[in-house]
């Protein structure tokens, strides 16, 4: 199953669990983001990421260029603060 299929299945399953008022607010917020033009600047499949520095899981700053010099790079974004 592709990521898109998995996400669609998750949306369908959660739709009945989220109150209508909340779903409407979420939909309006999503539409506002689309209309803001934010989608024009997102990285798309196949794009090359620009060089960046981010903290790793230990809080140490790491450079994408330094990591790429050692081999392939996988970036995982943790939502929230742990």
Share of the chain above pLDDT 70, in %: 98
Q: Does 73 reside within a domain?
A: no
CA separation for the pair 52, 68 (Å, rounded)? 11
- C-beta contacts of 16-21 below 8 A and 24+ residues apart: none
Q: Does 67 reside within a domain?
A: no
Give pLDDT, residue 64. 94
> Domain containing 15: what range?
3-41
Q: What's the domain count of the chain?
A: 1
Span 36-46, mean pLDDT?
87
pLDDT-derived band at 81, boundaries 50, 70, 90: low
CA separation for the pair 12, 22 (Å, rounded)? 15
pLDDT-derived band at 82, boundaries 50, 70, 90: low
DSSP string, 29-68: HHHHHHHTTGGGGS--TTPPPPP-EEE-TTS-EEEHHHHH
pTM of the shown model: 0.49
CA separation for the pair 42, 24 (Å, rounded)? 24
Q: Does 26 reside within a domain?
A: yes
Share of the chain above pLDDT 90, in %: 40
């Amino acid at each position: 199953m592709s990521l898109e299929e998995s996400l669609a299945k998750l949306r369908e399953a959660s739709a009945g669990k989220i109150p209508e008022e909340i779903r409407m607010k979420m939909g309006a917020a999503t539409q506002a983001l689309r209309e803001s033009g934010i989608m024009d600047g997102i990285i798309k499949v196949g794009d090359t990421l620009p060089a960046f520095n981010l903290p790793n899981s230990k809080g140490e700053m790491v450079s994408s260029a330094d990591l790429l010099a050692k081999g392939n790079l996988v970036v995982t974004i943790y939502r929230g603060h742990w």
